[in-house]
Amino acid sequence: MLEEQLKQVFSQFKHNNEYESYKELVSGHINNTYLIKTTEKPYFVLQRINHGVFKDAQGLIINKFNISQHIQKKLAHLPEKELKRRVLTFIKTKDSNKYYKDNEGNYWNMMLFIDESITFEIVINEEVAYEGGKLSGGFLNLTSDFDASKLIEVIPKFHDMSFRYSQFEDARRVASNQRLNLAKNQIRFIEGSRAEMHILQSLKESGAIKTRVTHNDTKISNALFDLNNKGLCVIDTDTVMPGIVHYDFGDAIRTICNTASEDEKDLSLVNFNLDYYKAYTRGFLETVGSSLSPIELRYLPLGAKSIIFIMGLRFLTDYLNSDIYYKIKYPEHNLDRAKNQFKLIESFSKKIKQLDKQEVS
């Protein structure tokens, strides 16, 4: 049944290839993504957008289509074969649309599969961190002249700190006394961090920090590498929307520099990897540093701290809401996740102070 559906959808796009088989790609957590193998290369990646999560699936596809076309124009000096490895290439439908809408109301998009490439679920060494930084910074640099106001905000208020605090306050009002008591230390930490955690939002709203195109999901698994571990391009651009550079920098640092998984309960294992931070930052600044303002550069470390914090805040909010958003495996799972993120902040703050002292001396 699924294969017949994939064949039918694949036939709606503009290509000259004959369908052979499919394989589900399970790296993503929201959309359904399939590798479509054909009788001859190139192969294709066919994706069905989850319109339950992304209410404007049409706008989402148009966003990433337009961003890829913009980057292609910026890299037009490259040979065609190399260009198709350095940026996602989306395929239009036979009637020249950027997406196909099936009879069930699902939205599909298709792109070329980039052969001889790999991804990493975790950073394995400083070289991978450095290459990841180059890719993320390069994406921001290549899109720095794209008018971010033309992008659809596919997840409204995604990194809006005031909104996340408001959700937290709502959850605290309805939380059981037991959960409030178990989370009292984390609640105290959240309250004590309120002023600092609103600094970036205030700078953004005042215009002191530029609103630009941001990726908004810069975990290392969304960076594509060649077989020699050299960076190729940024993938999974579903959440491309207006933001500030600190969102992308911070999200990458949060996921790359934690020495443990975000589900780790043993907080002694949760530490901030300063070597990965330095390697990633070096690559990031090599590719985008020249286009950043002094105030953007100054607040990059706070960007990392803020994104780590906002994840901890969201985990704790869900815990107080009796776990209605994130999947859990045991009753205190979300509380442990929040503790994990706040321990990472503690370690980050100590390591950054050490780094600042080293740079001054």
CATH number of domain containing 110: 3.30.200.20
Peptide bond into 42 cis (omega under 30): yes
Residue ending a domain, choose from 115, 150, 174: 115
Residues 86 and 132 in one domain: no
Say how many domains are in the chain.
2
**% the chain with pLDDT above 90:** 91
Please give the pLDDT value at position 97: 97
Instruction: Find, among 267, 280, 279, the residue nearest to 344 by Cα.
Output: 267
Give the residue carrying structure tokens 């294992």: 269
Number of other residues whose CB lies within 10 A of the CB of residue 122: 12
Does residue 121 belong to any structural domain of this protein? no
Q: Does 86 lie in the same domain as 58?
A: yes
Residue 81 has pLDDT above 60, yes or no: yes
**Which position has the higher pLDDT, 28 or 283?**
283
* 120 within domain boundaries: no
Q: Is residue 263 part of a domain?
A: yes
Give a yes or no: residue 234 inside a domain: yes
Range 223-245 average pLDDT: 96
The verdict on 189 and 80 lying in the same domain is: no
What mean pLDDT comes out for the span 266-286? 97
Task: Name the band, by pLDDT with cuts 50, 70 and 90, for residue 359.
Answer: low
**Domain boundary pick from 88, 115, 142:** 115
The answer on 202 and 318 residing in a single domain is: yes
**Residue whose C-alpha is closest to residue 231's, from 90, 133, 114:** 133
pLDDT of residue 357: 63
CATH number at residue 344: 3.90.1200.10
Domain match, 313 and 171 both: yes
pTM: 0.92
For residues 218 and 332, state if they share a domain. Answer: yes
Q: Is residue 360 over pLDDT 70?
A: no
Share of the chain above pLDDT 70, in %: 98
pLDDT at 52: 77
Q: What is the pLDDT of residues 128-154, one digit of tens each?
A: 999 999 999 999 999 999 999 999 999
Q: What is the pLDDT of residue 353?
A: 86
Residues 158, 60 share a domain: no
Mean pLDDT in residue range 254-263:
93
For residue 29, the model assigns a pLDDT of 57
305 occurs within a structural domain: yes
Task: Provide the pLDDT for residue 355.
Answer: 77
Q: Are residues 111 and 36 in the same domain?
A: yes
Give pLDDT tens digits for 153-180: 999 999 999 999 999 999 999 999 999 9
User: What integer pLDDT is reported at residue 51 of this predicted model?
Assistant: 81
Average pLDDT, the chain: 95
> Considering 93, 115, 137, which residue would you say is the last residue of a domain?
115
Q: Is residue 297 part of a domain?
A: yes
Given a cut of 90, whether residue 28 has pLDDT beyond it is: no
83 and 150 fall within a common domain: no
3-state class (DSSP) for residue 234: strand
- Residues 168, 193 share a domain: yes
Mean pLDDT check: name the lowest of 18-27, 181-190, 265-274. 18-27
Q: The domain containing residue 276 runs over which residues?
A: 126-360
**pLDDT bracket for residue 54 (50, 70, 90):** confident
Domain presence at residue 255: yes
Question: Does 361 have pLDDT greater than 50?
Answer: no
Give the burial class of 173: count Cβ atoms within 10 A of its Cβ; 0-12 exposed, 13-18 middle, 19 or more buried. Answer: exposed
DSSP string, 78-133: S-HHHHHHHS--EE-BTTS-SSEE-TTS-EEEEEE--SSEE--SS--SHHHHHHHH
Does 102 share its domain with 146? no
| Domain-embedded: residue 303 | yes
Cβ(233)–Cβ(86) under 8 Å?
yes
Average pLDDT over residues 196-203: 98
What number is the average pLDDT over the span 113-141? 96
Does one domain contain both 316 and 344? yes
Res. 27: pLDDT tops 80: no
Query: How much is the average pLDDT of 73-90?
Result: 97
Q: Scan for tokens 């399970």, then name that residue.
A: 26
Q: Report pLDDT digits (tens) over 294-326.
A: 999 999 999 999 999 999 999 999 999 999 989
